[in-house]
Amino acid sequence: MKEHLFMKILNVVIIAVFIISCENLTGSPHNTSNETIGESNGSEGVISEVLFPRSNATSVNVDTYFWVTFDSTPVIGSSGIIGIYDADDDSLVDSINLEDKPVTNATEFQKLTLMTAPSTINIIGNTPGRDEVYPNQVRIVNYYPIIIDGKKVKIIPHNNKLKYGKTYYIRIDNGTFNGTIGGKMFTGITNKETWRFSTKQMPTVTGNTIYVSADGKKDFTTLQGALDYIPVNNTTPYTVYVAAGVYEELLFLRNKSNISVIGDDRNSTIIQYDNYDSFNNGTGSGTNADSTTGLSLNQVFARGGRAILLISGGDSINFENLWFKSIHAQGSASANQAETIYFNSNGRFVAKHCSFTGYQDTIQVKGFSWFYDCLISGDVDFIWGANNTALFENCEIRSRYNNNGGYIVQARSIAGYAGFVFLNCKLTRESDLPDASVYLARSYTTSGSNSSYYDNVAFISCMIDSHIKPIGFLLPTTVVDTNPSKSSSVAGWREYGSYNSSGTLNLANRGATNGTTEVTGPVYSDQPASHGTYVLSDEEVKALYTNRSTILSGATYGSFSYSGFSSGWVPIP
């Protein structure tokens, strides 16, 4: 009888405990916002549900980032440290200190070393490829180690800190983030069991095809992780497939060739960053590194520059179905140059079915490039560079509002090459841009002062909306003359077959503006005049500009194997 009574009491206790446990798990009313989440109250299981990667996750990519999801948009504190530790010996592997600030002064930046750099500095590309050889240059930049995205805090560790086959744990100081999780104040993570994870034992790449997905379910979580995997000075082609998602990262590709990067769709595979000249000064270059040890501790830094993607050296780089998006705000206090890409190579670059959106200096290219069925947007000099030939074929060139007017091209082209050629393109505008407010191009240099820079720009059979000034081209008051001083069929400002919604454009007023004086009138072979636009004849277009084969026939760079390369570069859509 006593035993029977005891069993009844025990059952009641078990049921009561179960009910209380369920209330705690579902966030019952007694969980008020005055309670805290963190090691102090032992609510580690609740924290694990809002972490990425989850606590005790396995096979995590070494290029992973980290998420913490709050109830509402959290606030970053003024101080605090986020640390990643090796679980084997509790050694600190990487840390982010909220008191560290970006080093935006160019002179001070170039005094930094690995020993003195704050945690706002990131080193991109400082890892050996699959051949165990380090790149001979790395890109060093200011970056955002913490990004708020709605309710989420994204923590971006420094590149190449995590290794394969290791277990790590994360600690976050109290006060680093101010917000609630599950109705409780977040007080940090101090228990090394709370946020643990293990990386993959080894890379999972099969052959020369690499897969990237922002959810961490493919070979790499970031595009840079995939690019790092490719050997330096490779001769074997590699293809990188990038799944739909937003990849907020700065990128560096140095002395790697025959690479194709293909997204799911250019509207959904987005590579973006808020990088700009006042944040990372200059167009950018790499810092030399040793091929066996990488960057040395006391080596001074070179500025990695303001582009989202910096390509330095290499040949046959192909992008497809991607959106490179500068998210630097035009109206910000530092509304200055911000390239989406800088192709700093004498080789060949291809972009097919891609979008490049920004404001000033959206695209900068050298060497030879072909943009096919792409959207390029911006306001000031948003297509520019010291190039050989850049062909924009069947592209939309979209001008954006600027209260000082706008310019599409600033050419600093190399003599003897076509420069910037727009074939069958559409020159459009955003809805707030007024008529006659944008120049096709403006001159950079003066004839003779820098004979290596030429104003080589050609528009062939393009639809040109009425936001383009009738005069077409700008010769600034600081510039004495164009280079060459007289345009021809192969150099300077050239145009043919321009039209708008009403039909063929009247090019009678084409010329250039020199200060307040407009020099008008097209330049024909029998009517020489300075500064003007050379209107091409049917015969000249047929001989020089009829298709990409004739335009790119001068692309005889290097000794890389390419089908049909000996007779010129003819890329295929």
Q: Are 312 and 285 in contact (CB under 8 A)?
A: yes
Dihedral, CA atoms, 423, 429, 433, 438, nearest 10 degrees? -10
CA torsion sign, 445 to 446 to 450 to 451? positive
pLDDT above 50 (res 27):
no
Q: What is the predicted pLDDT for the residue at 317?
A: 97
Cβ neighbours, 10 Å, residue 81: 17
- What average pLDDT does the structure give for the chain? 86
Element (H, E) at 520: strand 517-520
266 phi, psi to nearest 5 deg: -70, -15
**Picking from 95-109, 349-363, 375-389, 548-562, which range would have the lowest pLDDT averaged per residue?**
548-562
- Most confident listed range (23-27, 112-116, 359-363): 359-363
Res. 554: pLDDT tops 70? no
Q: Give the residue-averaged pLDDT of 516-534.
A: 54
What's the angle, vertex CA 530, arms to CA 528 and CA 533, rounded to 5? 80
- Inter-CA distances, 378 with 113, 359, 460, Å: 35, 4, 21
Looking at residue 518, what is its pLDDT? 60
Q: Give the pLDDT score at 188.
A: 96
Amino acid at site 520: T
What order do you get walking across the sheet with 259-263 strand by strand? 209-212, 238-242, 259-263, 317-320, 348-352, 368-372, 389-393, 419-423, 457-460, 493-496, 534-535
Q: What pLDDT, on the 0 to 100 scale, is given for residue 29?
A: 33
| Spatial separation of the C-alpha atoms in residues 160 and 323, rounded to whole Å | 25
Tokens of 237: 């082609």
Q: How would residue 48 be classed by pLDDT, with cut points 50, 70 and 90?
A: confident
Residue 46's domain spans which residues? 35-114+145-199
Distance CA 286, CA 506 (A): 47
| Sign of the dihedral through C-alpha 129, 134, 140, 144 | positive
pLDDT of 131: 63
- Residue 566 clears pLDDT 70, i.e. is over it: no
Torsion angle of the four alpha carbons 458, 462, 464, 470, in this order, in degrees rounded to the nearest 10: 40
Which percentage of the chain shows pLDDT scores above 90?
Answer: 67
| Residues 235-251: tens digit of each pLDDT | 899 999 999 999 999 99
User: Do the Cβ atoms of 349 and 516 come closer than 8 Å?
Assistant: no
What is the per-residue pLDDT across 318-376, written as a single tens digit (0 to 9) for each?
999 999 999 998 876 676 899 999 999 999 999 999 999 999 999 999 999 999 999 99
Q: Using the predicted structure, report yes or no on whether residue 290 has a pLDDT greater than 80.
A: no
Which CATH number does the domain housing residue 90 bear?
2.60.40.1220
Structural domain includes residue 122: no
Question: Residue 46 phi/psi, 5° resolution?
Answer: -65, -40
CA distance readout (Å), 515 to 228, 473, 476: 49, 12, 6
pLDDT average, residue stretch 274-303: 87
Residue-level pLDDT at 565: 38
Query: What number of other Cβ atoms are within 10 A of residue 95's Cβ?
Result: 17
412: domain CATH number is 2.160.20.10
C-alpha gyration radius of the chain: 28
- Given 184, 199, 214, the domain boundary residue is 199
**Residue of 321, 354, 361, 320 lying closest to 340 (CA atoms):** 361
Residue 30's pLDDT is 34
Task: Give the mean pLDDT of 545-568.
Answer: 60
What's this model's pTM, rounded to 2 decimal places? 0.88
Q: How far apart are CA 224 and CA 222, in angstroms?
A: 5
Q: Does residue 396 lie in a domain region? A: yes
Q: Which of 58-62, 120-124, 499-503, 516-520 has the lowest mean pLDDT?
A: 516-520
User: With contact defined as beta carbons under 8 Å apart, do 278 and 334 qualify?
Assistant: yes
- At 450 the pLDDT is 59
Q: In the predicted model, is pLDDT for residue 285 greater than 70?
A: yes
pLDDT at 572 over 70: yes
Long-range contacts of 551-555 (CB under 8 A, 24+ apart): 551/389, 551/391, 551/418, 551/421, 551/423, 552/368, 552/370, 552/389, 552/391, 554/388, 554/389, 554/416, 554/417, 554/418, 555/348, 555/368, 555/388, 555/389
Is the per-residue pLDDT at 449 higher than 70? no
Report the number of distinct structural domains present in the chain.
2
Interatomic CA distance for residues 563 and 571, integer angstroms:
9
564-572 mean pLDDT: 63
**Does the pLDDT value for residue 547 go beyond 70?**
yes
For 168-201, what is each residue's pLDDT tens digit? Answer: 999 999 999 999 999 999 999 999 999 999 999 9
Residue 65 lies in a domain: yes
Number of Cβ within a 10 Å radius of residue 414: 18
Q: State how far the Cα of 514 lies from the Cα of 442, in Å rounded to an integer.
A: 10
Most confident of 32-41, 78-87, 124-133: 78-87
513: three-class secondary structure by DSSP: strand
- CA dist 414 and 450 (Å) reads 11
CA distances in angstroms from 280 to 133, 246, 273, listed in the order given: 28, 22, 12
3-state secondary structure 436-451: CCEEEEECCCCCCCCC
Dist. CA 48–CA 50, nearest whole Å: 5
**Percent of the chain, pLDDT > 70?**
83
Q: Quick one: pLDDT at residue 516?
A: 54
**For residue 24, is pLDDT > 80?**
no
Is residue 424 a part of any domain in this protein? yes
pLDDT (mean) for 130-137: 69
Last residue of a domain, one of 199, 223, 238: 199
